[in-house]
A and B are shown apart, each in its own frame.
Chain A
Amino acid sequence: ETGVTQTPRHLVMGMTNKKSLKCEQHLGHNAMYWYKQSAKKPLELMFVYNFKEQTENNSVPSRFSPECPNSSHLFLHLHTLQPEDSALYLCASSQDIMINEQFFGPGTRLTVL
């Protein structure tokens, strides 16, 4: 595997389910990001991790819970989501947060019923 991978690519869940999104980067980077991409809206930065430490939480509801066990892996745990949370969730990585060039994964298309 190369670059940034995300699993699953598609996810359908009910509002009472608990699920997790996984991101893995094979680039030796130290910073990782979660973005939300909704139709007709700019990409929304959700969380930033640098060297496994969370450096930014962009006022994200607590039903989204990130986890970064090491610099190569990033998870987004989902619980009691709302239909308006349906979107494409993109993971990205960069050398560190001082280097702004980010590399993106293919995203997970989430549908909340």
Chain B
Amino acid sequence: AQSVTQLGSHVSVSEGALVLLRCNYSSSVPPYLFWYVQYPNQGLQLLLKYTTGATLVKGINGFEAEFKKSETSFHLTKPSAHMSDAAEYFCAVSVQRGNEKLTFGTGTRLTIIP
């Protein structure tokens, strides 16, 4: 079975600063990895995903994440935070065999300081 750990339930960064949200996963087989964002009173929106191929994945709104197998990590970054990035971010994992459910982390709430 797979699992996800998101370090830090709350992260605050200044506007214009680097955003780094951490995600570590556990999986006995090669994983598929996802980052979702949830704005207040909305559902989850896919930011980016890693399936196979290039380990640096670029997503929407300037976010990117790098799959590091040796570290079992898939951290989310953005070079310069914007006020509109304030939201909750969820990392999720499934496995490449398919027919496997998404397992979500507990989420990280990102606050942007003006």
A residues in contact (CB < 8 Å) with B:
4, 6, 9, 40-43, 45, 48, 56, 90, 92, 97-107, 109
Contact = CB atoms under 8 A, between A and B. Distances in A.
Interface stretch (B18-26, B69-77, B92-100): B92-100
A35 to B, nearest CB: 9
A40 B34 contact: no
Contact of B49 (A48, A101, A107): A101
Interface of B: 4, 9, 32, 34, 36, 41-46, 49, 90, 94, 98-107
12 contacts: A6-B43, A9-B41, A40-B106, A42-B103, A42-B106, A45-B101, A97-B99, A98-B98, A99-B98, A104-B45, A105-B43, A107-B42
A6 B44 CA distance: 13
B101 A48 contact: yes
Given A6-B43, A42-B106, 16 more contacts: A40-B106, A42-B105, A43-B90, A43-B104, A48-B101, A90-B43, A90-B44, A98-B98, A98-B99, A100-B100, A101-B34, A101-B46, A102-B46, A104-B43, A106-B41, A106-B43
Q: Which 10 A-B pairs have the closest CB atoms?
A: A104-B43, A98-B98, A104-B44, A43-B104, A100-B94, A106-B43, A42-B104, A105-B43, A42-B106, A106-B42
A92 B100 CA distance: 15
Contact of A41 (B4, B45, B106): B106
Given A41-B106, A42-B105, A42-B106, A100 B43 contact: no
B46 A103 contact: yes
Contacts of B49: 101
